[in-house]
Chains A and B, each alone.
Chain A
């Protein structure tokens, strides 16, 4: 990336393009080129703005009371947000959502940072291990949930193993992992699924950086702890930021794991929104939309704070 921002490259881009041999029509090749560029980006823009932008605009409109297709048009009203934000349940749901999201992202990072460093040192079996560890990335989340049910449930394998070790003699005595608000089952599924993603992202950064700086630090007498904190970690910071942002956004928007493995009421925000939408009374859909907009708002705030913090970190290191 950086190489392409180099002044030399910029200059070459500004140089006139080689003209077609017989270009009578091309009065202004630069203009034609620009038009073509715009035309080539257009489909992407239309899809993104149409779907994504449309969803956001419509979601916001509905949460403020605009739903003429249900015969509801109270726009603009803050009724739905007021009702939502003044209820204790909403804050409990939000707390649970954030707790699952943060815990899983943090545990995932703590595992995948050393894992990617270990796998970047190429040993004979590192390819095999790399491939094995990548497996969860390749299968659906619902498979991860099925694995959690068969491993962690009260009748699951861990419970059976504890029984055969003589630790418990009834399934009910096994520590409740699933269907609680402690959420260990949900977090385990998130971690299981996301460690490969994070590890792969960090490995890509590590592979690009090479081992030169680490070797230089070693030659200069740095110990392994200094190398990690002073050399490797700052190098892979961009990867950490992008991987953790993507995983966190996914975690707080996930629906199936909290629904199946969670403790029920109070639900996480996506499940809460879905329950509103399943309600026969369609006026609740606007309430659900207020939940959805709140969720997007929360993730937007976290995104902004995180990126600002990251920019300050980069600035402090003199990289921006």
Chain B
């Protein structure tokens, strides 16, 4: 976006109000994680102490049962199972979503036909109808089909909120490339398969990766649809955390699980900064 880093201005180049806003929002965003981390390491943290009086590591030898992080990493917390489920479902949803959306995105990007606007609206609709409404109505269908509480059911239902984003991102990618290169390859005698794997795919790959990462992210963070359709039999990190905090209190293990549930997102944030940044939401 900007040629060289030397042309970047200091933060003082924006007005004091803007500086205040940026700093305040960064604080509002990040600061709550500090007490969460402290809570996950605390054994006794009575009001009104700012820091715990007894820490977890001071008690862990004495306690007959696992505490805080020891409990989080013990099999009885089901964190490992939830992590595997979350990642597995995320990968399956991403691949399935890509398979469904890639061909459709090409058509949407390159063709004009009657009803195209209506089709685009239909694709955006899952984002505009409340998730709870879709989830509860689908639960009835899935119970009738024997799909409720199965991996297949959860994976299929995750397609609903992920498809709109995937289609948008892939359509934008296809639009950015046009069809010239494919036309050339066809004139030169390449068959359809060669054209796709040798010409199209290498060109659109960055956009495809961005779409996949975003889809994976949406899927791993999804709570409501997993909770409704999974029927408590499929636990993922968000639903495990929900079960832990639904009483309205947060103990050390709850804080630990909350931190674990943030890990996939934080990893994606660090490693995929440039992919996520450029995703074309703004249509």
The answer to whether residues A141 and B221 also contact, given A123-B10, A130-B277, A253-B131 and a CB cut-off of 8 A, is: yes
* Interchain pairs with CB closer than 8 A, number: 315
Pairs across A and B, CB under 8 Å, 19 listed: A37-B111, A40-B103, A44-B103, A59-B140, A121-B14, A124-B11, A134-B269, A140-B241, A146-B255, A150-B39, A156-B35, A161-B50, A202-B282, A239-B282, A242-B282, A242-B283, A277-B139, A292-B136, A296-B130
Are B22 and A115 neighbours in the complex by a CB distance under 8 Å?
A: yes
Number of residues on chain A facing chain B (CB within 8 A): 114
For A252, give the chain B residue with the smallest CB separation: B130
Q: How far is the CA of A151 from the CA of B32 in the complex (A)?
A: 6
A96 within 8 A of B: no
Q: How far is the CA of A160 from the CA of B101 in the complex (A)?
A: 50
As a 0/1 sequence over residues 54 to 66 of chain A, the CB contacts with chain B under 8 angstroms (1 = contact) are: 1110110010000
Enumerate B241-283 residues with CB–CB distance to A below 8 Å.
Answer: 241-242, 245-246, 248-250, 254-255, 258, 261-262, 264-266, 268-269, 273, 276-283
As a 0/1 sequence over residues 7 to 35 of chain B, the CB contacts with chain A under 8 angstroms (1 = contact) are: 01111111001110110011011101101
For B260, give the chain A residue with the smallest CB separation: A143
As a 0/1 sequence over residues 1 to 20 of chain A, the CB contacts with chain B under 8 angstroms (1 = contact) are: 10010000010010001101
Number of residues on chain B facing chain A (CB within 8 A): 109
A217 within 8 A of B: no
Are B279 and A303 neighbours in the complex by a CB distance under 8 Å?
A: no
A231 within 8 A of B: no
Are A150 and B246 neighbours in the complex by a CB distance under 8 Å?
A: no
Are B224 and A292 neighbours in the complex by a CB distance under 8 Å?
A: no
Are A121 and B21 neighbours in the complex by a CB distance under 8 Å?
A: no
Contacts of A178 in B (CB 8 A): 248
Q: How far is the CA of A238 from the CA of B129 in the complex (A)?
A: 19
For B268, give the chain A residue with the smallest CB separation: A138
The contact of A299 among B13, B129, B282, by CB within 8 Å, is B129
The contact of A138 among B126, B183, B217, by CB within 8 Å, is B217
For B143, give the chain A residue with the smallest CB separation: A69
Are B132 and A295 neighbours in the complex by a CB distance under 8 Å?
A: yes
Are B133 and A253 neighbours in the complex by a CB distance under 8 Å?
A: yes
Contacts of A218 in B (CB 8 A): none
Contacts of B222 in A (CB 8 A): 140
